[in-house]
Structure 1
């Protein structure tokens, strides 16, 4: 299968290892991965902060770039959520029904990584090896917008050597929420403190997630407290063939 990688802004600038791992994983499974170089931000930041008019050119560009591909994957529930639930809305809000229809077509072919693996490729055991104690934080957008459910956990349970530990209050938000963390810093910090406390209670070496934004927020909290616990993207675990 030929799959287009939607890399996302945060992966491109801060977590390139997550995007690289996505490519390694899919190629190991026998698929061709292409990177459309004309891609830019999908516009989620603009839309979430109320600048829909400014997001419209980004939506139009995203649709034009990814329309030629039958399958699109992103290592981000947040950005896939924007493509599925916001792009057509923005186009319709601007009175462009043709763009809205094209955006819906692209959205129907766009998948978060665990969705692609489990639902499209029909695989749960990807042949990964990761000999570490890991807990998993299910991100808000993947849970509530995409409803990925237990797909990431089903994939992790097949990883050889991995000791998967349940995260207490796992479905509680970590407090990032994009600009929420800036506009409501005290609330965000309190939510992060709860999340860090729960991560530490698992005695895990790594806290994994499927969104770089949440990893950045949780990782910052863990680092500032010098806990020694690190964060890792789901794609990095699934791409790993590290032996004990």
Structure 2
């Protein structure tokens, strides 16, 4: 079984360590990982802006590139959701290649939990330790479209897959938020079209994380963390951001000694 690693544009350009950490985790778990070098953007920014005609050839190219693989894994809930939930209008219902890509594209966390059934986490035979206080930011795409965890407006019981993975890490302390699943205000092009509203929402989220006593905001979606990180830097708040896979792979907060 060969798994293709799909690396979103913003990770490739701004947070390549998240992609590297994803590769490390998958290979340590015995997964045969391929990286199709022809991959490009999934088209989400164009689709969100209403430019569906421009997104169509991007979506078709994505399917052409990734259809040969048994599964596609992506460390980004929003880009995963784009493929799974918003590609349908670009393909015929009987398109077998598209149906394969649609059903076999996974967010990293759900792949580890649902496909690999991860039951422990070790690096070179040793437990992963992260002796820090963290708080979990749950992205809207991850909750509302991929169902990575329970959401407050829905009474359906669900395990929180991101939290389940963090539970494998030793010495970590999870800080509770007053509003555990509130939007950070990023929303891709929403942050460009409505910058004041977006920033206000982000400042509220950062304040909730800081008030919890957290040292690190953790999420499965680096796009949300990119938004929050910009506000943290401007406000000089005493908190950092990390993708969950960086913690799983043994990374340390930048403000702490290795």
Counting helix residues as a fraction of each chain, which structure ranks higher?
1
Residue 7 (structure 2) aligns with: 7
Q: CA deviation at 1:34?
A: 1.0
Contact 2:75 2:221 in 1 (8 A): yes
Structure 1 Cα separation of the partners of residues 139 and 113 of structure 2: 18
Structure 2 Cα separation of the partners of residues 201 and 125 of structure 1: 31
Structure 2 Cα separation of the partners of residues 124 and 11 of structure 1: 27
Residue 106 (structure 2) aligns with: 111
Secondary structure of the structure 1 residue equivalent to 2:171:
coil
Residue 183 (structure 2) pairs with residue 188 (structure 1): no
Structure 1 Cα separation of the partners of residues 132 and 179 of structure 2: 21
Residue 54 (structure 2) aligns with: 54
Q: CA deviation at 1:67?
A: 0.3
Structure 1 Cα separation of the partners of residues 218 and 119 of structure 2: 17
Q: CA deviation at 1:98?
A: 5.2
Contact 1:124 1:154 in 2 (8 A): no
Q: CA RMSD in A?
A: 1.7
TM-score between both structures, scaled by the size of structure 2: 0.88
Q: How does 1:113-152 map to 2 (within 5 A)?
A: 113-127=108-122, 128-149=128-149, 150-152=160-162
Q: Flag structure 2 segments of 5+ consecutive residues without an equivalent.
A: 123-127, 150-159
Contact 1:117 1:124 in 2 (8 A): no
Contact 2:60 2:90 in 1 (8 A): no
TM-score between both structures, scaled by the size of structure 1: 0.93
Distance 1:241 1:124, change over 3 A: farther
Residue 169 (structure 2) pairs with residue 174 (structure 1): no
Q: Flag structure 1 segments of 5+ consecutive residues without an equivalent.
A: none
Secondary structure of the structure 2 residue equivalent to 1:63:
helix
Contact 1:29 1:126 in 2 (8 A): no
Residue 224 (structure 1) aligns with: 234
Structure 2 Cα separation of the partners of residues 86 and 228 of structure 1: 37
Distance 1:45 1:124, change over 3 A: farther
Aligned residues: 239
Greater alpha carbon shift after TM alignment, 135-144 vs 102-111: 102-111
Q: CA deviation at 1:168?
A: 2.3
